[in-house]
Amino acid sequence: MFGIDYPIIGAPMFQVSNENLAAAITEAGGLGCISLTNYQTVDQLGDALSRIRQRTAKPIGVNIHLSGKFEWRKQLAACLDKGVQLFITALGDPSLVIDDIHQSGGKVFTSVIYLKHAKRAEERGVDGLIATGAGAGGHCGKISTMVLVPYLKRETNLPIIAAGGIGTGSQMAAALSLGASGVVIGTRLIATPEASSSLEYKQAVIDALPEDIVFTDRITGNVASWIGKSIEMLDTPTDPFAAEWKNLWSAGQSVAQVKGVMPAGEIIAEMVAEYNRVLTGLPAIEG
């Protein structure tokens, strides 16, 4: 669909995904994304997209929030002008943007956590679904990725991208064996030199254990995954703007696979090499 080398999408993460990270992932053979929430103005977004295009002509993506809180129409225009190919929609009706994106040759995917969301998105004409299972960083669902991917594959007629708990080549092999067409990786990319995450945030991801990840709606009002120690100061539910966002660190259970800071391109190469080893190393079962 996108002409990329490997079925790996870099998640568009708040406070993390920027033009350097997106370009590095894309140049390594995946599909790098930026989060539009990381840019305060449309002009800043346009400048960031221009910098990406100076480094790569390969496919890139964005997430786009289709609600009144964001200038999504202006953001969409800026992205289409710079040839963005993948749009991941959230917080709104994807049919609002599908025609414009399709006319420009782009594709629209929607992140879903339940079958009802997937069916609604399919009816509205999206090109694919991102099955965001339990254990993913940021906003995610309660259904295991191992269950959600084949479930949506069976019940819809769309390509399924697996997200949640994926940070290695073996986990990618597992996701594709379930019927996924590709994977989204997020947490593994937080501890990269290209990411915008602070040194403290990167170290927290390196130090965290899967059991340190807290699943709560206390930060944004919607359930999401966070590094526990970064929200310990919140004794009561809080308005998100009352907290210091730079000290609130989202991550998924795949912190278990993060052992240190590694360049994004090396992570992609390592995943691909491990994926190929797994394919040749699985034991044969006679029957």
Mean pLDDT of 216-243: 68
Cβ within 8 Å of residue 145, ≥6 positions away: 131, 133, 134, 135, 136, 162, 163, 164, 165, 166, 175
**Residue 121 and residue 221 share a domain:** no
**Is there a domain that residue 282 lies in?**
no
How far apart, in whole angstroms, are the C-alpha atoms of residue 181 and residue 184?
A: 10
**Residue 17 and residue 71 share a domain:** yes
Mean pLDDT of 267-272: 98
Longest CA span, the chain: 61
**Is there a domain that residue 283 lies in?**
no
**Residue 49 and residue 87 share a domain:** yes
Q: State percent of the chain over pLDDT 90.
A: 78
**Residue 139 and residue 216 share a domain:** no
Domain of 214 in residue numbering reads as 200-247
**Predicted confidence (pLDDT) per residue in 150-184, tens digit:** 999 999 999 999 999 999 999 999 999 999 999 99
**Is there a domain that residue 258 lies in?**
no
**Residue 115 and residue 46 share a domain:** yes
238 pLDDT higher than 80: no
The amino acid present at 131, given as its one-letter code, is A
**201 φ, ψ to 5°?**
-65, -45
pLDDT band at 69 (very low <50, low <70, confident <90, very high): confident
Based on the structure, what is the number of domains in the chain?
Answer: 2
**Residue 271 and residue 216 share a domain:** no
CB 96 within 8 A of CB 66: yes
**Is there a domain that residue 2 lies in?**
no
pLDDT band at 235 (very low <50, low <70, confident <90, very high): low
**Is there a domain that residue 238 lies in?**
yes
**Residue 243 and residue 136 share a domain:** no
pLDDT band at 284 (very low <50, low <70, confident <90, very high): confident
**Residue 235 and residue 116 share a domain:** no
**Predicted confidence (pLDDT) per residue in 120-153, tens digit:** 999 999 999 999 999 898 888 899 999 999 999 9
Quote the radius of gyration of the chain (alpha carbons, Å): 18
**Residue 204 and residue 178 share a domain:** no
pLDDT of residue 241: 45
**Residue 159 and residue 44 share a domain:** yes
pLDDT of residue 234: 61
**Is there a domain that residue 55 lies in?**
yes
pLDDT band at 233 (very low <50, low <70, confident <90, very high): low
End-to-end CA distance of the chain: 36
How far apart, in whole angstroms, are the C-alpha atoms of residue 22 and residue 31?
A: 7
239 pLDDT higher than 80: no
Query: Which tokens sit at 75?
Result: 């953001």
**Residue 175 and residue 88 share a domain:** yes
**Predicted confidence (pLDDT) per residue in 10-56, tens digit:** 999 999 999 999 999 999 999 999 999 899 899 999 999 999 999 99
pLDDT of residue 286: 87
Specify the CATH number for the domain of residue 92.
3.20.20.70
Give the number of C-alpha atoms closer than 13 A to the C-alpha of residue 227, restricted to the C-beta side: 24
**Is there a domain that residue 22 lies in?**
yes
For the chain, what is the HEC assignment? CCCCCCCEEECCCCCCCCHHHHHHHHHCCCEEEEEHHHCCCHHHHHHHHHHHHHHCCCCEEEEEECCCCCCHHHHHHHHHHCCCCEEEEECCCCHHHHHHHHHCCCEEEEEECCHHHHHHHHHCCCCEEEEECECCCEECCCCEHHHHHHHHHHHCCCCEEEECCCCCHHHHHHHHHCCCCEEEECHHHHCCCCCCCCHHHHHHHHHCCHHHEEEECCCCCCCEEEEHHHCCCCCCCCCHHHCCHHHCCECCHHHHHCCCCCCHHHHHHHHHHHHHHHHHHCCCCCC
**Is there a domain that residue 162 lies in?**
yes
pLDDT of residue 185: 97
**Residue 231 and residue 117 share a domain:** no
- Model pTM? 0.92
